[in-house]
Structure 1
């Protein structure tokens, strides 16, 4: 007689999942499979009911369920609580969230918060809840390198836009979610404000975010990229009729995109996301200028813990930017009055000694594969030095006025060089006096 499937353990292990129970019953053909499924069911039920020998703290964690999923009150980035009991004014399903967790969620708009929830839950997901009054920056930017046009919405809570090189757990994540450039599907939008549904997701979210911010007295506006302010010289092969308003590059080993916006420079769309406002940028410099690429270094003033402290400066370097976009980036830097420190003393060696050619003794004898910018900078500096040398060679101490101890020799030299000109002038003066 063969082994029977333990129906009691199966139902207890997969309670609430009749589909799995049915699938296991169909797959349990043969003693080996039946024994395997019985062991799996027994193991799952033993995890669900911890033994009395386990510590109380461990029991409590199992009884409370998985953390950070469906807590009755999910904390927002600033520590305030968003409750699933708050009346939802607008609910949009199947929205792709990129940061802080890459997953499809339902986004809920309430009078005080924006939060995400799972499709089968009514409670906010911990870490994806934001108070409207705490939003410091809001953006809508195109998603790069997508055949179909899409938009990323980015909301930064306060003190989250500039992530230092050594971030702490107290720095909240922004939220980044993606919407297509199409109309919402039927049944995906509900809530009191669902009547405001527009022809596309972009118009809907622009209205919803702006109206919620305004309702709580937050004057933050949604910032968009402007191709008149900056547009890449590189053509987009997947959308040739549209200009790219971003530049591809690297920050460390992570690739990403730089957006040069009316109020600052944004780096996305991977953690850590950065937004560097114009009023916090103290200097911009260009480094490692090669024939096809260059690096850009941005110095940013960081907030200090106490009012009396001097403002700390953090440097953010973005590498492997395409040389063709240097002109547009440099024009952006100059237009917004951002200080160019490329030729500061501490950066000259790093800029001008890229790809140097040295002899056997280590002396620099030239540059190999130098880029246009590097050669121009080197030539300009050499021209300035040559001009200074020429000025030193042509310098005449007497041209700036008489000095002590040199007057007599200067007079003698001038008389010798001028021949009899000085005597003839004196004779003419004497003759004029005699005639008078």
Structure 2
């Protein structure tokens, strides 16, 4: 025995033990006891690790099977939507080790895919819920603290086909063969849950005030369930579950003729907005909030200030945009130089030499043309200097035809107010008795 013990020691350590035992021969048995104790501790530690890895709460739990004799109730081929999506069997059964009730999802060979142990303390709430617009299907919703597999954290959601579930209850002899009321199945399931340590609510029974509304959460379409103690949004991941007592306040916004939005604000100041709710649902939601003394902050000073700031910012933005547009339009107006429009100013400026030619009257066309030519030349010289002087219109009179002159004179004789066509001076008669004080030359 001692030889075997020494052979398992490293050479250097074995030499030290041999040296001590050569001086104290009785010490060899002590070393043997120490070796055996250490060996037993190592083996026990390895056994615990193996047991932990194969327990129902570990990775190997998926390979554990439920014995037929341990099954309390099993529904085959139910549609599981969360925390995984698969056709599995729902079972209430006893644990093979603790003999305590367990809620599990089983594969065809009765191996466990998902399970919840310690049902009384692990399940937060469970409820039957209607499926909107599908009378033949019902949801079973279960919120729990933890499962056998850490990767499953979403609530358990199962759809029960009423017809097939009722038929299974008939086959199990739980209800009579002529039974058509699915409520019998619901009542039986609720009783079995109570026996195993938890409660399944049925809030949408005829006497209940629970209701649900269609809505959107961001781009996800879903259903908002208002229960007596909870509010659930589902059933696109992530599924949201609120305790009614945790809702601090509510606001209504984006109100139109057809729809409105609801924002739930928790006591930890988390905000969850649900949009596109039908206007017909407002009364029920508002009554639900008032009964639970939830504060309506739709008209709060904080929200008003926020809306006013938004309106102010929108107004400032509109003014800024208009200002920028005006600036762009002004900048796009062509700013022509004076030399491009000098012809438009002819007849409004004085002669280039500063004299006024209004007293000189040229009746000859050739003389007028010479004056214009000279003034154009002088104007071009001034143009180079940045100044303009265009001759008066009187210096560019044109010869009026004789027949036109005669017609205008005849018109003047009949109508003295009409000026003659040749612009000749018209004698003005002065009333000698006029004592207005105005002198005439």
With normalisation by structure 2, the TM-score equals: 0.49
Greater RCO structure (CA 8 Å; 6+ sep):
1
Higher helix share: 2
**Which of 1 and 2 has greater Rg?**
2
